[in-house]
Amino acid sequence: MKERMGRAIVISSGKGGVGKTVTAINLAMALNSLGKNVVIVDSNLTTPNVALHLGSPVVPVTLNHVLQGKKHIFKATYTHHSGTKVVPASLSLEALKNIDPARFNKAIKQLKNIFEYIIIDSAAGLGREALLPMGALNNEDEILIVTNPNMPAVTDAMKTIQLAEKLQKKVAGVVITRARNKKNQELATKNIKALLEKPILARIPEDDAVHESIMLRKPVVLTHPKSRAARSYMRLAAKIANVEYKENHSFFEKLFGWLVK
């Protein structure tokens, strides 16, 4: 009987600055906290951010070395203190030379033999670098589209979905970030769903806890686990893993639940 391989999930966005990397990191950490064996891969080779967000910008071996054929993927795999594994990309411009995209597909396949979930932080936009992780996806894999609730971001998300579907890759749904519940300042969730024609898997609220966690260079699910954003990421992870997630509310949170929704 063939062993079940891991599932790769590309976190993609049509434009930068929408919270794609924050979503990739927190989803990976949330899945890990649910007991899943997870690795996050930074495939944004020109402007990598995963290691920066996690407080370890410089490491001796990176994904770039793997794509240059110099190192095995597991030599570029590091363990975050949470237990989540991380494959960072290099900050060096020199490390962009002699990159072979075909080696990326091989590396992801090797990771699938070990991990349940491979969370891939893609480059933003629709260029060749953004196409790199999509090319490594099989039928069991999928793409999550991250967008903000404004028309420019949603329009770019629409283009990303169209590109993915043209490549016959599965788009599982959309994650809306930095939502503020201000009717006159952002698109309603139902309108975003109608425009993109994809399910809305999560709605991450604008939350000071996220900004604080970025300054601390740690995921919000670890620094502020009771924050609205962290809970939203936990619910997203539970939905993806198809497991139940029970939130532990204090007496006052239950009494004044509307304050934390």
Query: Which residues of the chain, if any, have pLDDT below 70?
Result: 1-3, 249-261
3-state SS string over the chain?
A: CCCCCCEEEEEECCCCCCCHHHHHHHHHHHHHHCCCCEEEEECCCCCCCHHHHCCCCCCCCCHHHHHCCCCCHHHHCEECCCCCEEECCCCCCHHHCCCCCHHHHHHHHHHHCCCCEEEEECCCCCCHHHHHHHCCCCCCCEEEEEECCCHHHHHHHHHHHHHHHHCCCCEEEEEEEEECCCCCCCCCHHHHHHHHCCCEEEEEECCHHHHHHHHHCCCHHHHCCCCHHHHHHHHHHHHHHCCCCCCCCCHHHHHCHHHCC
pLDDT for residue 255: 53
Place of tokens 């110099």: 70
pLDDT at 24: 99
Long-range contacts, 58-61 (Cβ 8 Å, 24+): 58/91, 59/88
Residue 129 lies in a domain: yes
Residue 174 lies in domain: 7-259
What's the token pair of residue 103?
A: 């080696």
Q: How far apart are CA 58 and CA 38, in angstroms?
A: 21
Q: Does some domain include residue 109?
A: yes
Report residue 178 as tokens: 């930095």
Q: How high is the pLDDT of residue 261?
A: 38
Q: Indicate the number of domains in the chain.
A: 1
Cβ neighbour number for residue 168 with a 10 Å cutoff: 9
Query: What's the one-letter identity of residue 160?
Result: T
Contact between 172 and 239 (Cβ < 8 Å): no
Q: Which two tokens stand for residue 29?
A: 């950490």
- What's the full length of the chain, in residues? 261
Specify the pLDDT at position 183: 72
In a domain, 2, yes or no: no
CATH assignment at residue 208: 3.40.50.300
Answer whether residue 157 is part of any domain: yes
0.85 surpassed by pTM: yes
pLDDT of residue 250: 53
Q: How are beta strands 38-42 and 171-179 bridged, if at all?
A: unpaired
Report pLDDT for 177: 98
Question: Residue 182: what pLDDT?
Answer: 75
